[in-house]
Structure 1
Amino acid sequence: MKVRIFDTTLRDGEQSPGVALSPENKLNIAKKLDELGVDAIETGFPVISEGEQKAIKMITQANLSAELCGLARTNQQDIDAVVDCGLKYVHTFIATSDIHLQYKLHLSQDQVLEKAIESVEYAKSRGLQVEFSAEDATRTDRDFLKKIFTAVTKAGADRIDIPDTVGYSTPQYIAEITKDAIEATKLPISMHCHNDFGLAVANAISGIQAGAQCAHVTINGIGERAGNASLEELVMALQCLKFDQSWETNIKTELLYEISKYVSKLSGMPVQPNKAIIGENAFGHESGIHTHGVLSNPLTYEPISPEIVGRNRWFQVGKHAGAHGISAMLEEYGIQPDKDQLKQILTKVKLIGETGKHVTDVELVSIANEVMGDSKLKRLVQLTGFSVSTGIGNMPYAFIKLNIDGNEHTATDYGVGPVDASLNAIQKITDTISEIRIKDYNLASISGGSSALCEVTVKLEDAMQNTVSSKSIGEDIVITSVQAVIDGMNRIMLKKLVKQKRHNN
């Protein structure tokens, strides 16, 4: 069975505290969603502002393949705003639970019923496809919920949506009211589940198993409070887990990680490392037992292949590391220690790990060079010029000159501080030359006093999703930060070079 994916990143997702997308960014995300293969995009809430209307009009004029929808309360002004934006599809809602009726709307059930009917009839008179939502459906009196769904169906609604507005339902109960809605309306049913108790995806799946045909979701699960059902989790669960029947979507799953990063960047909402499917650690391994198993057969400790969702697996070394994982990581740099050397490297790694620290890729390679007596590892990136200027009343700026594989590159950029300016300047060069991005930056002080040492750890990623972690220690935060990035660049470019050589051979 085909499940319809209704994406509300641009509406419910943007309602996340602290998120505000410009019209241009909303258009760019809409294009990415269309490329991903979503069936419908909730473009926004037209009546709330002129900027919102501008964004929606830009999206409606972009010739996208997905159906485009706008949100509206049950009044003519909201519905007219949807029409004025060029949309042909409205998602109209009114709260139906007793707590909303008493404390928010100050209306009776009969008054709410009347408003719902009138809005659906008016929207249909304006030529719109209508999806009706009973806000807070899972806390609504069950008989009244069936009554209002029946009434809006008679008024001409095309679809019914069941919102679990505060994530209050269980999978068992949401399945029951989904069956109620199907019986009362015979219309396509959508699930709109929030994640306040961590059950959004489970509830959406339960509704689908009960006969719903559509799920409202957001990229990375962003949304108000604890967020919405996560698109990537729902889609992969439907595709990969065992159910009584098979489910399909139109989503191009290999694009999931790419759009996750894109939305995270534009929204300013980082993805937690341990998030399913698209979290940084979702395909990362440190434990020696797990690493050995994955190297023998990835399915031992991975439920799906990372490539399916546009990812690569990666290994971290630390106190839980094993010889197989370390050997595999060094192999990526063309380093092949013998059995005794590998044992010595593992011992040194574990000693560092016992102090509570992770061993970066650069440190691992350095340890291997020390044990193997080989310090001739090629440096493809050399820092040949560097200056930074800062002061009261002046925005900090930095000048960087890099020699990358024999070619000189320079850049100047500004930042909120000297470190930010320096990393921005480096990023300017790497964006155009080697497509290396600085993914993570951490600063720690490791000694006290006026001459305190700082420890900078960075994580870099290239366009092929090769990742490298690097650490540098020094007295000057700016120089130490730059050195950590340069060391990481050398390792990630070496890793890429080794892969290219193997591919050519």
Structure 2
Amino acid sequence: MKLRVLDTTLRDGEQTPGISLTASEKLRIATKLDEIGVNIIEAGSAITSHGEREAIKAVTGAGLNAEIASFARAVRVDVDAALECGVDSVHLVVPTSDLHIEYKLKKTREEVLSQAIDACQYAVDHGLIVELSAEDATRSDINFLKKVFSEGISVGANRICACDTVGMLTPEKSYDFYSKLATLGAPLSVHCHNDFGLAVANTLSAIRAGATEFHCTVNGIGERAGNAAMEEIIVSLNTLYGEENSFLSKPEEDNYNFETDINIQELYSTSKLVARLTGVYLQPNKAIVGENAFAHESGIHADGVIKNAATYEPITPELVGHRRKFIMGKHIGTKGLKNNLNELGIKANEEQLCEIFEKVKSLGDMGKCVTDVDLQAIADNVLEFEREQKIKLEEVTIVSGNKVIPTASIKLKVDDKDILEAGVGIGPVDAAIVAVKKGISEFADVELEEYHVDAITGGTDALIDVIVKLRLGDKIISARSTQPDIINASVEAYLSGVNRLLEAND
């Protein structure tokens, strides 16, 4: 069965505390959502502000394939605001629980029903697709809820949606609840919140009960504990409910063949885009798209994955556009270590491998996670092999102050040739990197993709840990340096990466 996906990252997701997207940022996210196959994009709530309407207009004017919707309360002024933006549809939301009707709206059920039907009829008469949505539906009287939906359908509502607004359902209750609404005569949508961590499970149960559309946000962002996460629902439908899953028995009476139009291989890149533009970064162990979702440190796990990825991975990282990582720390095994050494092009015999293994374990016991740069240094030392450095830093001098433009002068040695260069920047680190880039310009056009700095210890003499990601053509390498001086650490990390890139291109 084909399911429709309504993504509300740009509306419900933007209600996450601290998020305020510009029109251009909304358009970038909407374009990506359209590219990956989202059927309906809720671009915002048109009544909110002039800026919100301009953002929605940017999305509706982009010529996307997806249906573009605006959130609207069950009042004509909200529908008018949506019409002004040129949307295809309205997500027309009316509170249906006595709790909301009495305390928030201070109305009667009859007044709320009349208002909902009037707004629905008004939107239909003005050519809009209407998804009539019941707020706090799961705490509503089921007979009143059915009456609201039935009368809405009678005046032209195209779809109905029941919202678990504060995440009160369990998977069992979700199946029972949505089963009661699936036969009302219009396509049924499920909209779940994650207050108890059950939004995805409740959404899947609702789909099994007959919902043909689900609402979601990328990375599960949203107010309070967030919404059902798109990537988790899509991969669950694909893997746990798909025909290919032979590990779970399935009752014959259940229809588990659910499909969507989503390009599953773009889920990770979509997650990264939304995280970057919203500033809401994911916890490392976030399912499907977290940085540790396919990371292995345990020696037993790494050994199993190397032999057959299915031993400790329910899906391959490539399915969602992610990548596998073997983390080097105190739990690493020799098989995982050997795999990392092979990726670095380092050949070690059994005796050398054991020595490298012990050094990595020792650093892990000290609480350090060993990077590929650290491993390279450890291996070089054990193998008694000093890798030839094409470019070496001889000296760096910084001039900076309140009324002085930060200026750096550097001395590099490139194949026994001294190179002197200077650069200015918005700060001393920037000035130093600018000077280095000028100094190596004739050898390589290396781009700094990412720069990250942490203070490892406390105090003014703290050790500074600098991690950079560099690109040369289609080759990307991370490099790291830890020193008390942030400028020296930054320059050395940068040059370490440059040397490795140059070596890889030789």
Cα 1:413/1:211, change in 2 over 3 Å: farther
- Partner AA of 1:238 in structure 2: L
Counterpart for residue 223 of structure 1 = 222
- Partner SS state of residue 373, structure 1: coil
- Partner SS state of residue 20, structure 1: coil
Counterpart for residue 50 of structure 1 = 50
- Partner SS state of residue 187, structure 1: coil
Counterpart for residue 284 of structure 2 = 273
* 1:448-487 superposed matches below 5 A: 452-458=461-467, 460=469, 470-487=479-496
- Partner AA of 2:313 in structure 1: E
- Partner SS state of residue 69, structure 1: strand
Counterpart for residue 148 of structure 1 = 148
Cα 1:340/1:31, change in 2 over 3 Å: same
- Partner AA of 1:443 in structure 2: A
Counterpart for residue 30 of structure 1 = 30
Find the aligned partners of 2:40 and 2:113 in 1 and give their Cα distance: 27
Cα 1:321/1:419, change in 2 over 3 Å: same
Find the aligned partners of 1:112 and 1:289 in 2 and give their Cα distance: 60
Residue 155 of structure 1 and its aligned partner are, at CA, apart by 2.1
Counterpart for residue 360 of structure 2 = 349
Residue 455 of structure 1 and its aligned partner are, at CA, apart by 3.5
Cα 1:489/1:304, change in 2 over 3 Å: farther
Find the aligned partners of 1:251 and 1:464 in 2 and give their Cα distance: 30
- Partner AA of 2:213 in structure 1: C
Cα 1:210/1:425, change in 2 over 3 Å: farther
Find the aligned partners of 1:404 and 1:121 in 2 and give their Cα distance: 75
Find the aligned partners of 1:413 and 1:87 in 2 and give their Cα distance: 45
> Do residues 254 (structure 1) and 265 (structure 2) align?
yes
Residue 486 of structure 1 and its aligned partner are, at CA, apart by 3.7
Cα 1:297/1:408, change in 2 over 3 Å: farther
Choose from 457, 480, 485 the match for 1:445.
457
Comparing 467-476 with 333-342, greater Cα deviation is found at 467-476
Counterpart for residue 159 of structure 1 = 159
- Partner SS state of residue 124, structure 1: helix
Residue 87 of structure 1 and its aligned partner are, at CA, apart by 1.1
> Cα deviations across residues 291-318 of structure 1 (Å, max 9, x unaligned)?
1111111111111111111111111111
Choose from 357, 375, 390 the match for 1:364.
375
Comparing 453-462 with 32-41, greater Cα deviation is found at 453-462
- Partner SS state of residue 168, structure 1: coil
Counterpart for residue 321 of structure 2 = 310
Cα 1:151/1:391, change in 2 over 3 Å: farther
Preserved CA contact (<8 Å) 2:425 2:434: yes
- Give the TM-score taking structure 1 as reference length: 0.88
Preserved CA contact (<8 Å) 1:399 1:413: no
Comparing 479-488 with 257-266, greater Cα deviation is found at 479-488
**Root-mean-square deviation over aligned CA pairs:** 3.2
> Cα deviations across residues 384-443 of structure 1 (Å, max 9, x unaligned)?
88665544477868789999999999975436xx5577679999999x945553275422
- Partner AA of 1:30 in structure 2: A
Find the aligned partners of 1:400 and 1:234 in 2 and give their Cα distance: 53
Residue 169 of structure 1 and its aligned partner are, at CA, apart by 1.1
Residue segments in structure 1 that go unaligned for 5+ positions in a row: none
> Do residues 329 (structure 1) and 340 (structure 2) align?
yes
- Partner SS state of residue 10, structure 2: helix
Preserved CA contact (<8 Å) 1:389 1:397: yes
Preserved CA contact (<8 Å) 1:344 1:371: yes
Residue 16 of structure 1 and its aligned partner are, at CA, apart by 0.8
> Do residues 92 (structure 1) and 64 (structure 2) align?
no
Cα 1:457/1:118, change in 2 over 3 Å: same
Find the aligned partners of 2:414 and 2:377 in 1 and give their Cα distance: 21
- Partner SS state of residue 455, structure 2: strand
Counterpart for residue 181 of structure 1 = 181
Find the aligned partners of 1:213 and 1:427 in 2 and give their Cα distance: 55
Counterpart for residue 237 of structure 2 = 238
Counterpart for residue 247 of structure 2 = none
Find the aligned partners of 1:140 and 1:321 in 2 and give their Cα distance: 53
- Partner SS state of residue 277, structure 1: coil
Cα 1:352/1:144, change in 2 over 3 Å: same
Find the aligned partners of 2:436 and 2:225 in 1 and give their Cα distance: 36
Find the aligned partners of 1:425 and 1:262 in 2 and give their Cα distance: 31
Find the aligned partners of 2:282 and 2:479 in 1 and give their Cα distance: 21
Preserved CA contact (<8 Å) 1:427 1:436: no
- Partner AA of 1:473 in structure 2: T
> Do residues 290 (structure 1) and 301 (structure 2) align?
yes
- Partner AA of 1:284 in structure 2: A
- Identify the structure with the greater helix proportion: 1
Residue 460 of structure 1 and its aligned partner are, at CA, apart by 3.3
Find the aligned partners of 1:465 and 1:251 in 2 and give their Cα distance: 27
Aligned residues: 489
Cα 1:439/1:234, change in 2 over 3 Å: farther
Preserved CA contact (<8 Å) 1:403 1:409: no
Find the aligned partners of 2:231 and 2:473 in 1 and give their Cα distance: 21
- Partner AA of 1:302 in structure 2: E
Find the aligned partners of 2:437 and 2:119 in 1 and give their Cα distance: 52
The percentage of aligned residue pairs carrying the same residue is 45
Cα 1:92/1:489, change in 2 over 3 Å: farther
